[in-house]
Amino acid sequence: MSDPKEIVRAGYDAIADRYAEWAATFETPELRWVDDLLALLPENASVLDLGCGGGRTAAQTVAARHSYTGVDISPAQIERARERIPDGRFLVADVTALELEPASFDAVMSMFMFGHIPRAEQPPLLAHVHRWLKPNGLLLATMGSGGTDDAVEDDWLGAPMFFASFDPETNRRLLDEAGFEPIRERVITYDEPGHRPVSFMWVLARRS
């Protein structure tokens, strides 16, 4: 298996339940950043969640207050998300091939997904996100920070997994080139059980 998208799809299909159990054993800054996003959104906003996963707490928090659309490449993760967010709209899709109406969302969030997107496809994806957002729409995302070229880890929670990232300076340039103005950003490092410490660049930005 050499297609990065197929590696990610098959990996999360295989470990969907295990991933949820593992993720519940530690905290990330996600809920705090989601609170910052919610504070800026109008009432009854439309929110697109790219790489939505299995309906984690942060996604449920957003869906409880706004119109929520989740997209994930893994059918197993989407099945879990539908159970936890019954009023949400869900699409099983490769986000880099997704076709959506321009200016149709007040916010796009993407937690821990960009690190599974090949480097060459991250800039075009940011441009698509910009197009899907309404004027002054918001982006909340985590991006890699290690500057790691496209690579496959043979055993990540029991399945092969694809990873790629840029360094923070490159991320900032790509966001600027895509048309985003930063509101807040920070590189945060924390421990993931069973893995070495990980660092993500957390970004809250506005479509300029």
pLDDT computed for residue 194 by the predictor: 86
pLDDT at residue number 1: 57
- Which residues, in sequence order, are CB contacts of 123 under 8 Å at separation 6+? 174, 177, 178
Taking every pair of Cα atoms in the chain, the longest distance, rounded to a whole number of angstroms, is: 44
How is residue 184 written in tokens?
């807040």
CATH of domain 4-207: 3.40.50.150
Contact 94, 56 (CB under 8 A): no
Cα separation, 146 vs 187, whole angstroms: 10
What pLDDT is stored for residue 128 in this prediction? Answer: 98
Instruction: Give the model's pLDDT for residue 195.
Output: 83
Distance CA 44, CA 114 (A): 27
Q: What is the pLDDT of residue 37?
A: 98
**Which single residue is written with the structure tokens 């930005």?**
205
Distance from the Cα of residue 17 to its chain's centroid: 19
Domain ranges of the chain: 4-207
Give CA–CA dist 42/103, Å, rounded.
15
Q: Would you give per-residue pLDDT tens digits along the chain (208 residues)?
A: 589 999 999 999 999 999 999 999 999 999 999 999 999 999 999 999 999 999 999 999 999 999 999 999 999 999 999 999 999 999 999 999 999 999 999 999 999 999 999 999 999 999 999 999 999 999 999 999 999 899 999 999 999 999 999 999 999 999 999 999 999 999 999 989 988 889 999 999 999 9
pTM over 0.75: yes
